[in-house]
Amino acid sequence: MTGFVSLVGVGPGDPGLLTLRGRRAIARADTLLCDALVQPGVLRHARPDAEVLFVGKRGGEESTSQDEINHTLLLRASQGRRVARLKGGDALLFGRGAEEAEFLAAHGVAFEVIPGVSSALGATAFAGIPLTHREHSSSVALVTSRERPGRPADRAPLRAIAHADTIVVFMGLGRLAGDMAALVAEGRDPRTPAAVISAGTHPEQRVVVGTLADLAALADAAAVRAPALVVVGDVVALRERLRWWDGPGLHGRRVLVARAAAQARDTVDAFVDEGAVVVEIPMLRFAPTDRPDGLGRALRDLRVGRYDVVAFTAANGVTFAFAALRALGLDARAFGRAMVVAVGPETAGALRAEGIVADAVAAEHHGAALVDTIAALPGVALDGGRVLLLRAEVASPALPAGLVARGARVDDVAAYRTLGPTDEDRERLRAAWSTGALDAVLLTSGSTARALAETLGDALRAPPPGLVVASIGPSTSEVARGLGMTVDVEATVYTVDGLRDALRDHYRQGATVPP
């Protein structure tokens, strides 16, 4: 049998907790079998042509049986496929991973086990509850509250570890009152701090803190839902000082990312890392220019040294210009003696990825700043100099006009064109806007603002109560206000990270936490 199975623990929820070895196994897999708690972000690392099977089991719901899962692993391996079996948390801790490994071994299937971050480690850390502490806890006990089907309820395991400094109970929400009472019956002080962590490490994470005596009632009143972890011990009291993930800020905020799908990943990651619930609805799409002859002619002229300066105003210009260069059989050497200028660090980063270090980077996203940046280039006389602008087909005329006013000879060449959203994405945006399903909207460019306005029409001027509009910088804000939008937050550093920080600080100043 030539197939191979990787039993991969993918962590408790946050896709960023996936290990490097786990990511490699996912990237190599022909088939992936996913548990119910595996987050979609983990599947980003899979090949586009990989087979993805959802085989999660949830208590009380119709789901794939363990026997079906075992035989699916065996079948795919017998077909010579590499299989990644993705399991929430750790691959072997309080799950069926060990049984799956036994089944594979019994049938001669080669396999590996890739450990993952257990919820006992991840959820507690994200809740600000350390499992150990020199002053409070030098022992930790892990126990499951769920019995094997058909086995009589027995709290003997819980009683056996009742006096560990810290106790972590898996799958204990359904038996919370009985488990807490059992610990008290074993002599544990009913005033011992205890907590329930629901959806640990997720943007939806909720933590209810109480004591052995009242935790069950508090969790019931808060309508806490599974998956949930129960923590008992004096370390729970440290949450008040160590809470970092689900405090005031972006945690739980529903943030619209309207960037083109190909550009959205870094933006999504920046906000997910802060605990935001990201709603991705692409309002822009990009395509090669429908005037390729002009772009090709400009790139050939660049190669023979016609231009003194080449300026890129967006990362898209870099992407499409270099695609056109490669189609002509050229590469970064075509820039020759020309000085290269970029607007913003994102554009400069796109150039670096293509082997070009920008000679200057304009910090501000508006024409005057770029004109001043080009004029300050050493050894370049703007008066009489030749400048090539590689940007979108539809762009502000202010930049070339500003350069011409300073005496430059300018070729304003379209490297790409901007398209609007699909009909499906338009409807998704209108629904999210009208139902109040968003807390914040990110404006990462003037094009994004225009696409939102075109889609929403008059509704743009009547935003849902409490909606925050956050702009990446002054030029984007200017476009948005011209369209009738109120800009509530503007980044002072004109990058995605700067936009994230500005929005986070806005919410922190309000010192409110979403429910």
User: What is the mean predicted confidence (pLDDT) over 35-62?
Assistant: 85
Burial 22-36 (b: 16+ CB within 10 A, else e): bbebbeebbbbbbbe
Whether domain 4-117 has CATH 3.30.1330.10: no
Structural contact between residues 440 and 515, judged by C-beta atoms closer than 8 angstroms:
no
Torsion of CA 36, 40, 42, 47, to 10 degrees: 110
Catalytic residues: 35, 57
Instruction: List pLDDT tens digits, range 462-480.
Output: 889 999 999 998 889 999 9
pLDDT-based confidence at 514, cuts 50/70/90? very low
> One-letter amino acid identity for 484?
G
Residue 151 has pLDDT above 60, yes or no: no
The burial class, CB within 10 Å (0-12 / 13-18 / 19+), for 40 is: exposed
Residue 511 has pLDDT above 50, yes or no: no
| Range(s) within the chain of domains with CATH label 3.30.950.10 | 121-242
Which range, 121-130, 312-321, 372-381, has the best average confidence (pLDDT)? 121-130
Which segment of 18-22, 149-153, 275-279 scores lowest on mean pLDDT?
149-153
| Range(s) within the chain of domains with CATH label 3.40.1010.10 | 4-117
Residue 58 has pLDDT above 70, yes or no: no
Return d(Cα 105, Cα 227) in angstroms, integer.
30
The burial class, CB within 10 Å (0-12 / 13-18 / 19+), for 194 is: buried
User: What is the mean predicted confidence (pLDDT) over 377-406?
Assistant: 91
Residue 231 has pLDDT above 90, yes or no: yes
User: What is the mean predicted confidence (pLDDT) over 222-251?
Assistant: 94
Higher pLDDT, 152 or 91: 91
Residue 366 has pLDDT above 70, yes or no: no
Model pLDDT, residue 167: 97
Model pLDDT, residue 380: 87
pLDDT-based confidence at 512, cuts 50/70/90? very low
Strand pairing category for 285-288 and 409-419 = antiparallel
Instruction: List pLDDT tens digits, range 242-291.
Output: 999 988 899 999 999 998 887 788 899 999 999 999 999 999 889 999 88
- What CATH number was assigned to the domain covering residues 287-418? 3.40.50.10090
Return d(Cα 77, Cα 3) in angstroms, integer.
4
User: What is the mean predicted confidence (pLDDT) over 420-442?
Assistant: 94
- What CATH number was assigned to the domain covering residues 254-284+421-510? 3.40.50.10090
Percent of the chain with pLDDT over 90: 76
Instruction: List pLDDT tens digits, range 70-123.
Output: 999 999 999 999 999 999 999 999 989 999 999 999 999 999 999 999 999 999
Average pLDDT, the chain: 91
User: What is the mean predicted confidence (pLDDT) over 232-245?
Assistant: 96
Write the CA distances from 459 to 256, 263, 451, 499, integer angstroms.
Answer: 16, 26, 13, 24
Return d(Cα 176, Cα 161) in angstroms, integer.
16
Neighbour order of strands in the sheet with 277-280? 277-280, 254-257, 440-443, 468-471, 489-490
Higher pLDDT, 310 or 343: 310
Model pLDDT, residue 513: 41
Model pLDDT, residue 149: 52
Write the CA distances from 128 to 52, 142, 236, integer angstroms.
Answer: 34, 18, 8
Return d(Cα 314, Cα 366) in angstroms, integer.
12
Residue 220 has pLDDT above 90, yes or no: yes
Model pLDDT, residue 78: 95
Instruction: List pLDDT tens digits, range 439-466.
Output: 999 999 888 999 999 999 999 888 899 9
| Range(s) within the chain of domains with CATH label 3.40.50.10090 | 254-284+421-510, 287-418
Whether domain 121-242 has CATH 3.90.226.10: no
Neighbour order of strands in the sheet with 4-9? 51-54, 31-34, 82-87, 4-9, 110-114
Structural contact between residues 371 and 402, judged by C-beta atoms closer than 8 angstroms:
yes
Higher pLDDT, 395 or 115: 115
Neighbour order of strands in the sheet with 409-419? 285-288, 409-419, 386-392, 309-312, 339-343, 360-362
Higher pLDDT, 153 or 74: 74
User: What is the mean predicted confidence (pLDDT) over 361-389?
Assistant: 86
